[in-house]
Chain A
Amino acid sequence: MGYFHSVRLEEDKCKGCTNCIKHCPTEAIRVREGKARIIQERCIDCGECIRICPNHAKIAVGDGLEALDAYRYRVALPAPAFVSQFAGRADLEHILGALLTLGFDAVYEVALAAEVVARETRRYLDNYRGKKPLISPACPAVVGLIQVRFPSLVEQILPLVTPMDLAARLARREGVRATGLPPEAIGTFFLSPCPAKITAGRQPQEGMAGPDGVIPLAAIYGDIRQRLATAPSCPSRAGASGYGWGHSGGENASIGGRRLLEVDGIHHVIEVLTQIETGDFEDIDYIEAQACPGGCVGGALMVRNPYLARLELRQLTRELPAGRVDLPDPGGSLAMAPVQPRPALLLDADLATALEKMRRLEATQALLPGLDCGSCGSPNCRALAEDIVRGEAQDTDCVFVLRDRVRVLAEEVVELARKLPPSMAQPERGSDNETAGNSGASEFTGPGRGESPGPGG
């Protein structure tokens, strides 16, 4: 409700297959009338559907370069993983410099802000005495996943600003100092590896204003590649530890010390979060959880193979100093308001009604075949049962239930077809245990119906 989503469906390309519904970690997609519809309240913009769709029908909508026109001074905020896409074709200074040829007046590396966040995280962990482990807020898809599927863990999300939002603040301040323009004339644009960051950049939030726009990397990949050879040089100010945030494990490495666990790939993240809910991992201080395989280098809007991109990122930043000694002053508190749950999976706002629906859901699921085939347009049999209880589907949406109903009906039809008017009836028909009356027909359909609830057997 009023929630902006970057992930959209391109209807023309969608063939109505069931690949995306089965991979969505929040079961937020249903195929209806041949098209994959996104349930907005559930979508966390993780981009799994973009990755899996064989027809490239799922896309992420962000800002284009024309959005720069609204500002007099434009700063590019490249994600740490951004440079991995061009490594090997040019050195870091020229990859950053290529951004200046696209209409940006300056570049502020998010990797630099990441180093500030890492230092603040270290301090926070030093003083933290609450429930462990804390979970990184850096990946917005993971934060969304927790809000929707693991609401009891929201209080364990580290309440600190993300590198993207901090970079926007620092870049704006630097822009004001450099130009003397008012802050609103400075436009900050995050160059995003993923749809989740596009969405995160658009959410109004308390505490700190994020970037003014978010441009998907894929939208400018070609332009940058073309300009690498002739790009001017733009010096890097970040260290290797800041750039490490672009791949899995890098955030933890830049925080350092302690028991820090990293997990990447959203289905692996789900496993870990499930175990944290059970009370495991209490001896872990901090969890760097990233929705994409390999971390941001594996972002759904990235072009290169994630594992190659990780290698390239490491090699590209190998020559950089580990970290900046004189980190920029963050210019205010880095604290963020606690994350709130998004109870999108709740069956009903009233507990007693929800419980009643759950009872019907369980009973309905028991009648479904349990194949999780997806032909009904829901991701699995339980989800179909849930959709039925919510009044958004019916049991005959299941091809097996439907087939069974047809069979029962067909048997009734055959039985009726055997009946003859008394004037034509053969005397010997009554001899083989079957009575020739109407009562015989209803007896016959009895067992046929009785078999139908157990198609799974």
Chain B
Amino acid sequence: MNEARPPLELTIPVRAWDFLAGGDGAARVRQVLQQVGFPPAVIRRVAIATYEAEMNIVIHSQGGELKAQITPAVITIIARDTGPGIPDIDLAMQEGYSTAPREIQEMGFGAGMGLPNIRRCADELAIDSMPGKGTVIKIVIYNR
């Protein structure tokens, strides 16, 4: 019967270069999961992955949105942006590889840990990127 219920869906716009609001989306997802009562370990993984995906949009794109689809069994985060895309995904997945400009790195971001962190937290990760168009990252985390 629970399977028949549609997932709870949250859509959160993310603005490029907005470092004051950057992180608010992940915080909102976390708050919703907490109030619903997911286990802290699951929430932590979702929150970290969502935060990294959100900051990727803030730092590297021209803006986009986070979409969270939540069911009792699985949490899916889809981060979609318009921007330069990722020319070499394998390279981008390497720890320490970053294309963030210097001023961003000086702010403490862009250490090349974003995607590797997401991979560590996610049960499934799919990256679909069109150079020059944008990137869609799909993160799946199971509640088990």
A residues bordering B, Cβ < 8 Å? 151-152, 274, 277-279, 343, 345-349, 351-352, 354-356, 358-359, 362
Interface centre among A279, A355, A358 (most CB of B within 10 A): A355
List the A side residues contacting B2 at CB < 8 Å. Answer: 352
List the B side residues contacting A346 at CB < 8 Å. Answer: 35-37
B72 touches A358 (CB 8 A): no
A349 to B26, CA, bound (A): 24
Is B101 on the interface with A (CB-CB < 8 A)? Answer: no
A162 to chain B, nearest CB (A): 25
A356 touches B37 (CB 8 A): no
B72 touches A152 (CB 8 A): no
A352 to B1, CA, bound (A): 10
B36 touches A355 (CB 8 A): yes
List the A side residues contacting B115 at CB < 8 Å. Answer: none
List the B side residues contacting A274 at CB < 8 Å. Answer: 27
B23 to chain A, nearest CB (A): 6
A349 touches B27 (CB 8 A): no
List the A side residues contacting B23 at CB < 8 Å. Answer: 278
B47 touches A277 (CB 8 A): yes
A129 to chain B, nearest CB (A): 19
10 contacts across the A-B interface (CB closer than 8 A):
A277-B47, A278-B47, A279-B51, A345-B35, A351-B143, A352-B72, A354-B35, A355-B70, A358-B70, A362-B8
A148 to chain B, nearest CB (A): 11
B36 touches A358 (CB 8 A): yes
Known: A277-B30, A279-B51, A351-B37; 12 extra A-B contacts, CB below 8 A, are: A278-B27, A278-B47, A278-B51, A345-B35, A348-B37, A351-B38, A351-B143, A352-B2, A352-B5, A355-B70, A356-B5, A362-B8
A196 to B138, CA, bound (A): 45
B44 touches A355 (CB 8 A): no
A343 to B36, CA, bound (A): 10
Is B87 on the interface with A (CB-CB < 8 A)? Answer: no
B8 touches A355 (CB 8 A): yes
Is B98 on the interface with A (CB-CB < 8 A)? Answer: no
A279 to B46, CA, bound (A): 12
Q: Which of B6-45 contact A (CB under 8 A)?
A: 8, 10, 23, 26-27, 30, 32, 34-38, 40, 43-44
A355 touches B71 (CB 8 A): yes
List the A side residues contacting B70 at CB < 8 Å. Answer: 355, 358
Q: A352-B2, A352-B72, A355-B8 are in contact. Are A279 and B37 (CB under 8 A)?
A: no
List the B side residues contacting A352 at CB < 8 Å. Answer: 2, 5, 72
- Closest B residue to A386 by CB, please name it: B35
B residues bordering A, Cβ < 8 Å? 2, 5, 8, 10, 23, 26-27, 30, 32, 34-38, 40, 43-44, 47-48, 51, 70-72, 143
A392 to chain B, nearest CB (A): 15
A151 to B41, CA, bound (A): 11
A347 to B10, CA, bound (A): 17
A12 to B72, CA, bound (A): 46
- Closest B residue to A150 by CB, please name it: B34
List the B side residues contacting A277 at CB < 8 Å. Answer: 30, 47
Q: A152-B40, A278-B51, A279-B48 are in contact. Are A345 and B34 (CB under 8 A)?
A: yes
A347 touches B37 (CB 8 A): yes
- Closest A residue to B3 by CB, please name it: A352
Q: A279-B51, A362-B8, A362-B10 are in contact. Are A351 and B30 (CB under 8 A)?
A: no
Closest CB pairs A-B (n = 10): A152-B40, A354-B36, A359-B8, A352-B72, A352-B2, A346-B37, A351-B72, A355-B36, A354-B37, A358-B36
Interface centre among B5, B32, B35 (most CB of A within 10 A): B35
Q: A278-B26, A352-B72, A355-B71 are in contact. Are A152 and B44 (CB under 8 A)?
A: yes
List the A side residues contacting B51 at CB < 8 Å. Answer: 278-279
- Closest A residue to B32 by CB, please name it: A358
A355 touches B72 (CB 8 A): yes
List the A side residues contacting B8 at CB < 8 Å. Answer: 355, 358-359, 362
- Closest A residue to B43 by CB, please name it: A152
Question: B30, B37, B44, B72: which contacts A343 (Cβ < 8 A)?
Answer: B37
Interface centre among B37, B38, B40 (most CB of A within 10 A): B37
List the A side residues contacting B10 at CB < 8 Å. Answer: 362
List the B side residues contacting A347 at CB < 8 Å. Answer: 35-37
Interface centre among A151, A274, A351, A362 (most CB of B within 10 A): A351
List the B side residues contacting A354 at CB < 8 Å. Answer: 35-37
B40 touches A151 (CB 8 A): yes
A272 to chain B, nearest CB (A): 13
